[in-house]
Structure 1
Amino acid sequence: MDSAPGIISSVVHAFETHGVPVPSPDALRRFVGPPLAASFVANGFAEDDVPEAIRTYRAHFVPQGMWTNSVFDGIPEVLGALRASGRRLAVATSKPEIFARQLTERFGLDPFLDGVYGATLEDAVTGAGPDAPRRSSKADVIEYALGELGVDPAVAGTTAVMVGDREHDVEGAAAHGLETIGVAWGYADPGELEAAGAAAMAPTPAALTTLLLTP
């Protein structure tokens, strides 16, 4: 799903609201994918100010930015082919799960999916207690998704594969022994996925289907 327009507009809103210089277009593009907190710190926010920046971001993203998303051309066909082949499909995203579930439903992807798993809202933002379950990194989300899907961690690397468009997808999957197929239509810098250790690259959705269905 192409979530860049909504993410970037909401990030810009947060920078402008808090009087922090807006990053360059290239830097803004890198907000797409990784957890927000680290991206805000890397682009000029003090760590103590990040919870408020995220609140401001979400105040814009939830009513406006989230719904400017679109599904990349060819993705419904990929999901349909994989589903028809008997594969189990799930989303593991750094977005808060509550938002990810709304998006997959809104854009008609739920019939293809066995589950939608995402990050928890940050404790500092929600006020959740210190003992509340928390998922912030991609590795956390993948661990949670595998557990919910009933995948044995000991054999996950032989029964599951990650598809991702940023280096944190590759790194999070590797933490659990999973290989990643990188896709070229996302927002990674040139060579980013290969350098992170992607097992293969899919230049198009059709190529992704071939990679996933080839024994």
Structure 2
Amino acid sequence: MPDRPTHVLLDLDGTLTDSAPGIMASLRTAFTETGFPVPDDARLRRFVGPPLGLSLARAALTGDQAEAVVAVYRRELEAGGMYDNSVFDGVTDLLATLRDAGTTLVVATAKPQPLARPIVEHFGLDRYLTGGIDSVFGPAMEGAGEHAGKEKVVARALAASGGDQAGASAVMVGDREHDVHAAAANGIATIGVTWGYGEPGELEQAGAAAVVGSAGELRALLLG
């Protein structure tokens, strides 16, 4: 991991914001309306972060079944569920400090970009990003059967921010194993955060370069 990264790519759900309440409530409604058993809370929390289509496939839903669940889920999110959400303690101050130190800040999320950008803007986090709201990168609003790999999102974020250029040093910050794997696919390290939705040991097992438990620890690690 670089001693003092010039570029920091930030996951959204579970890293910047606690989006579990709205996501889980929307999923409960989606499973109920489509007639499928509603997973318990522990299983529902595992849906937060990874691409939704991938999580539904792991839940053994067929393509048509998953599409039905996704349709209701997105209706609920867009009706207000996506704002049943909050910024984690210390994140705003962390972003301000990193911005003021000259760090290039972008968001790289598995949440569809048309949903991610309004959320970032709603909480005023775009003011800390180097390119404002244009520095929020996510996949298109793909269908349930399309498991858009986060590695492609990370690649786009790196290229758009200049983090893939010679002389730049970049790091990913995220709370789940798919953040670590996506970063590694692009040749960069990940700092894992434990305040999100990962299982105990998940980040370490995935190969995170470091794991921190607070925004203060993350600030110290990023600024050296």
Report deviation, 1:25. 1.5
Aligned pair partner of 1:15 in 11, 21, 31: 31
Specify the alignment match of 1:207 in structure 2: 217
- Report the secondary structure of 2:104's partner residue: coil
More helix per residue: 1 or 2? Answer: 1
Aligned pair partner of 1:43 in 50, 53, 59: 59
- The answer (yes or no) to whether the contact 2:63–2:144 under 8 Å persists in 1 is no
Matches within 5 A, 1:65-104: 65-104=81-120
Report deviation, 1:29. 0.5
Residues 1:188 and 2:198 are matched in the alignment? yes
Name the amino acid aligned to 1:102. Answer: P
Report deviation, 1:48. 2.8
Report deviation, 1:44. 3.8
Specify the alignment match of 1:33 in structure 2: 49
Supply the distance in 2 between the matched residues of 1:135 and 1:29 (Cα, whole angstroms): 18
Name the amino acid aligned to 2:138. Answer: G
- Report the secondary structure of 1:119's partner residue: coil
Name the amino acid aligned to 1:195. Answer: Q
- The runs of 4+ residues in structure 1 deviating greater than 4 Å are none
Question: TM-score under structure 2 normalisation?
Answer: 0.86
Supply the distance in 2 between the matched residues of 1:106 and 1:43 (Cα, whole angstroms): 31
- The answer (yes or no) to whether the contact 1:119–1:135 under 8 Å persists in 2 is no
- Report the secondary structure of 1:206's partner residue: helix
Supply the distance in 2 between the matched residues of 1:59 and 1:164 (Cα, whole angstroms): 27
Cα separation, partners in 2 of 1:32 and 1:124, compared to 1, 3 Å: closer
- The answer (yes or no) to whether the contact 2:172–2:191 under 8 Å persists in 1 is yes
Specify the alignment match of 2:72 in structure 1: 56
Matches within 5 A, 1:128-167: 136-152=148-164, 155=166, 159-167=169-177
- The answer (yes or no) to whether the contact 2:66–2:144 under 8 Å persists in 1 is no
Specify the alignment match of 1:129 in structure 2: none
Aligned pair partner of 1:174 in 166, 170, 184: 184
Aligned length: 204
Supply the distance in 1 between the matched residues of 2:216 and 2:205 (Cα, whole angstroms): 23
Question: TM-score under structure 1 normalisation?
Answer: 0.90
Deviates further, 110-119 or 189-198: 110-119
Q: CA RMSD in A?
A: 1.8
Aligned pair partner of 1:118 in 138, 150, 155: 138
Supply the distance in 2 between the matched residues of 1:123 and 1:203 (Cα, whole angstroms): 34
Tell me the alpha carbon deviations over residues 144-163 of structure 1, each in whole angstroms, 9 at most, x when there is no partner: 1112213336x59x611000
- The answer (yes or no) to whether the contact 1:20–1:44 under 8 Å persists in 2 is no
Supply the distance in 2 between the matched residues of 1:167 and 1:56 (Cα, whole angstroms): 27
Report deviation, 1:93. 0.3
Specify every segment of 5 or more residues in structure 1 that has no aligned partner in the other structure, as ranges: 126-133
Specify the alignment match of 2:7 in structure 1: none
- The answer (yes or no) to whether the contact 2:175–2:196 under 8 Å persists in 1 is yes
Supply the distance in 1 between the matched residues of 2:205 and 2:124 (Cα, whole angstroms): 33
Tell me the alpha carbon deviations over residues 47-85 of structure 1, each in whole angstroms, 9 at most, x when there is no partner: 232222211110001112101110001000110110111
